């Protein structure tokens, strides 16, 4: 499968995940959505589990790409605080969509699917052991607040008033401000 064809399949799967009716991901449904036959899809993703793992990798990659774009410096030069701010901006803007959130939630129930999330995002949230406890707590609280923003916007359950979005992210950024000094 050409890389562009693989992307078409994975994007079709993400569209199904994002569907308002909460579509179940089946080989048939993804094949139809991607404009392929089921045997054509199965040639590259022989099982539903193989397809699900590829979907998770794709979703985690989309979130990480959005976070990289939100960073103000290259990843290697970013402080833990800058990385968490980038995550908050992604959660705030909705770059991490309903589909990615649903895929991440599924990984919580199926440990075999958590690997791509851990592989791609753990280093974004890793806090050096030498940070002062207060700084660690501030950065952790900022990440948890960004998690909440992502959850609220992706699920549509009790999202913050749109008028408060900028102020919420400003508060998260305030929590991370002292993290740049460490």
| pTM for the whole structure | 0.85
In the chain, the number of structural domains is 1
Res 20: pLDDT: 55
38 in any annotated domain? no
Helix or strand (DSSP H, E) at 61: helix 48-70
Which residue segment(s) compose the domain that 152 sits in?
Answer: 47-180
9 in any annotated domain? no
CB 154 within 8 A of CB 103: no
**Confidence at 155, pLDDT banded by 50, 70, 90:** confident
Res 93: pLDDT: 77
CA 176 and chain centroid, separation: 20
Residue 65: Cβ within 10 Å count: 13
139 in any annotated domain? yes
30 in any annotated domain? no
CB 100 within 8 A of CB 39: no
What is the domain-level CATH number for residue 141?
A: 1.10.357.10
Residue 74: Cβ within 10 Å count: 8
37 in any annotated domain? no
Mean pLDDT of 48-62: 91
Mean pLDDT of 14-39: 82
Q: Which residue has the tokens 């890389």?
A: 3
11 in any annotated domain? no
68 in any annotated domain? yes
Res 96: pLDDT: 63
């Amino acid at each position: 499968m050409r890389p562009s064809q693989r992307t078409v399949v994975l994007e079709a799967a993400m569209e199904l995940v994002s569907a308002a009716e909460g579509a179940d991901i089946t080989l048939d449904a993804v094949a139809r959505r991607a404009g392929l036959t089921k045997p054509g899809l199965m040639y590259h993703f022989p099982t539903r589990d193989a397809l699900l793992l590829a979907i998770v990798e794709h979703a985690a990659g989309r979130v990480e790409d959005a976070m990289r774009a939100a960073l103000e410096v290259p990843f290697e030069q970013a402080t833990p605080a800058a990385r968490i701010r980038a995550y908050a901006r992604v959660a705030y803007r909705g770059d991490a969509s309903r589909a990615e959130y649903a895929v991440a939630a599924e990984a919580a129930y199926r440990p075999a699917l958590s690997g791509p999330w851990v592989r791609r995002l753990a280093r974004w949230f890793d806090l050096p052991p030498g940070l002062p406890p207060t700084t660690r707590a501030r950065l952790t609280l900022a990440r948890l607040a960004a998690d909440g923003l992502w959850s609220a916007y992706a699920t549509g359950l009790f999202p913050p008033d749109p008028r408060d979005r900028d102020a919420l992210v400003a508060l998260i950024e305030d929590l991370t401000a002292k993290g740049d000094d460490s």
